A and B are shown apart, each in its own frame.
Chain A
Amino acid sequence: MSLDPDQQQAGPRTFQADFLTALFQDPLDPAYAQAAEAAKRRGKLPFWNRSARRLISWIVLAAIGVLLAVAYQQVVRSTPEREKVRAGLITRITAQKQSQATLAAEAERLQADVSRLREQVLGDPARTAQLRQLEAATGMRRVTGDGLVVRMTDGPDAATNKGHRLIDFDLQLVVNALWYFGAEAISINGQRLTAQTPIRLGGQTIYVGDTLVVGPYEVSAIGPPSLYDDFSKSDTARLYRAWQERPEHQFGFKVTKEDDLTLPAAVLPDLLYAKAPSASGTPTPSPSGGHK
C-alpha cells in the first residue's frame, strides 16, 4: 500500500519514527510549523479570538515567571535552613561540652573530699601514706612532680593526606614507652590515664577513655629523674624524630623536660570485680537492742 502525496498532506499529522533523530535535527516542536500552515490556510482569526489567545499566552508567561521566582527562592531558602540546623547542633555540642566540664570538675572535687574524709577515718599515718601511694599509682589522685612533656602534632597536610595524621597507635606507642621507662602518672591533653584507660580511634578522632582529644597532643608524664634521658634515647623517640623529617609523615615531635607538673585525677572507672562495702558496714546490735 502506498500513500499518495496528496493524501499524506491532507492527513491530520505525520509522525517521524525516530524521535531522537528528529529531536537533534530540529528541536523546535513541529506543531508550530503545522499551526502556522493551518493558520495560513484558514486565514486570520477574528480579532476577539486572537486577543483572547494572546492574553492567555501572557498569563502563561507570567505563570512561568512566578515558577522561576519560586524555584529560585526554594533553592535559596533551603541553604540557610541547613546552616541553621548546623549552628543549632554546634551550640548544643558546646553546651554539652560545658556541662560535661563542670560535671567533671565537680566529680574531681567530690573525689578529693572522699579522699580527705577517708584519710580522716583511717587515722593511721602509715596506712594513709600507703593509700596515697596506691591512689597516685592507679590514677585516682592528682599528682605533682617532675617529668616530661611530649608534644606531638599532625603533619602539615593532615586534612588531605592520611599519612600526615596521627592515630591512636602513635599515642599508644609513646605512652607504652613512657610506662616502660618507669613513668608513674601519664595524662594526654589533661586526661589522666589509668591501667584501664583505652586510647582508641573513633572515626578520624582519638578518644582517651571516653573523651575526645584533638591535636596538638600533649603527653605529660611524671616519673623518675632518668625518665627524660631514657625516653629521649628510646627507639620510639628516635623513630618519631626520624618521621619528623620524612615527607610521608612530617609529624611534629618534641620532648621537653618539665618540673612541677600537675596531673589531674582520672575519672573513677566503674568497678568490675571489686565491690564497695555497703555504706552502713556490718550491722552492730544496738546497746539496748533486744533488752526490754
Chain B
Amino acid sequence: MIAVLALIGGIVAGVILEPTVPLALQPYLPIAVVAALDAVFGGVRAKLDGIFDDKQFVISFISNVLVAGVIVYLGDQLGVGTQLSTGVVVVLGVRIFGNVAAIRRHLFRA
C-alpha cells in the first residue's frame, strides 16, 4: 500500500518539480523507463508470489537501468544504437509481458 503511495508520490513530485534532464541523458530516458517498468512488474509479481524481497527489488531496478543505459551507450558509440535499443526493449518487453501475465493469473485466476 505504502509502495503504491510512494510510486504515486514520485509521479506527483516529478510533475510538480519538473526536473530538467541533461541533454546528454535524454536518449537514455525511454530505455530507463522500460527498465524501470520491468523492475516494477517483477516486484509486483514477486509480491503476489509471496517471495518479494526489498533488496532484490532495489538491486534489480538499479542494475536494469544501468545495464540498459550502458548497452545503449555502447551501441551509440559503435553505431548500432538503434538495434541494441531494440534488443533491450525486446528482452525487457518479453519479461514485462510474462510478469504481467503472471500477475493477471494471480489476480483473476485466469
A interface residues with partner B (beta carbon < 8 Å): 23-24, 26-29, 31-33, 35-36, 39, 50, 53-54, 56-71, 73-74
Contacts and interface: CB of A to CB of B under 8 A. Distances in A.
Question: Which 10 pairs across A and B sit closest by C-beta, in order of nearness?
Answer: A65-B10, A69-B14, A27-B98, A36-B51, A62-B10, A53-B54, A35-B53, A66-B14, A65-B11, A58-B6
A48 B19 CA distance: 33
B74 interface: no
A60 B98 CA distance: 22
Contacts of B33: 67-68, 71
Contact of A32 (B11, B14, B49): B49
Interface residues of B, number: 50
B104 to A, nearest CB: 13
Interface of B: 2-3, 6-15, 17-19, 21, 26, 29-30, 32-33, 36, 39-40, 42-43, 45-46, 49-62, 91, 94-99, 102
Contacts of B96: 27
Contact of A35 (B6, B36, B42, B56): B56
A134 to B, nearest CB: 63
Contacts of A26: 98
Contacts of A61: 3, 6-7, 10, 40
Given A54-B54, A56-B58, A67 B102 contact: no
Nearest to B98: A27
Contact of A66 (B10, B51, B54): B10
Nearest to A23: B94
Given A27-B98, A58-B2, A65 B46 contact: no
Given A27-B95, A66-B13, A66-B14, A32 B7 contact: no
A29 B13 CA distance: 29
A64 B42 CA distance: 14
- Which of A60, A63, A71 is most buried by chain B, counting CB atoms within 10 A of its CB? A60
A279 to B, nearest CB: 57
A205 to B, nearest CB: 33
A69 B26 CA distance: 14
A27 B56 contact: no
Nearest to B47: A32
